[in-house]
Amino acid sequence: MIRIPSPHKPRKQESTIALINVVFLMLIFFLIAGTLAPPRDPEVSFITTTREENAAPPDMLFIAGDGRATWRGEPVEIDSELAGWAEEHQGAAFRIAADRDLPATELVDIVGALRTAGLTNIVLVTEHAAE
């Protein structure tokens, strides 16, 4: 009896295209789902409210309890920045995140100065109170 060896079928290589597609889709998902906003100032504790609507805007003026202000992570003097902010946010919302320990009279004075500079759409960012 003569044995004839059966031809070996070459093993089909596994395609890495499917793996690349999955990794690419995950990358796109995390880019869209992640926040691209600068981090909030850790020294500012938000004022709390009882409304359900929360906001996490990218550009906010953070005001600490002692009156120090930061914009995009950098310390600023509010009076020297008023004209630039008024021009940059003309008609758009200008957001302020004030520390709950900031005296209300100081906050009212700051908002008044912003309005005088030409900012008409000022939004005070608060945090929803836990029940």
DSSP code for 100: T
Residues 76 and 59: their CA atoms lie apart, in Å, by 14
What pairs with residue 95 in β-bridges?
60, 123
Buried b (16+ CB within 10 A) or exposed e, 98-108: bbeebeeeebe
pLDDT of residue 25: 92
With a cut of 50, say whether residue 56 has pLDDT above it. Answer: no
Average pLDDT over residues 84-108: 85
Q: Is the pLDDT of residue 57 over 60?
A: no
pLDDT score recorded for residue 126: 81
Classify domain 48-128 by CATH number: 3.30.420.270
Mean pLDDT to the nearest integer, 101-105:
89
Please report, for the chain, the start and end positions of each structural domain, with discontinuous segments joined by +: 48-128
d(CA 7, CA 5): 6
Phi-psi category of 72—alpha, beta or left, where left has phi over 0 and alpha has psi -120 to 50? left
Split at pLDDT 50, 70, 90, the class of 23 is: very high
Q: Which of 19-23, 83-87, 93-97 has the lowest mean pLDDT?
A: 83-87
pLDDT at 112 over 80: yes
CA 105 to chain centre: 28
pLDDT confidence tier of residue 50, bands split at 50, 70 and 90: low
What predicted TM-score, i.e. pTM, was given to this entire model?
0.54
Of the pLDDT bands very low, low, confident and very high (cuts 50, 70, 90), residue 60 is: confident
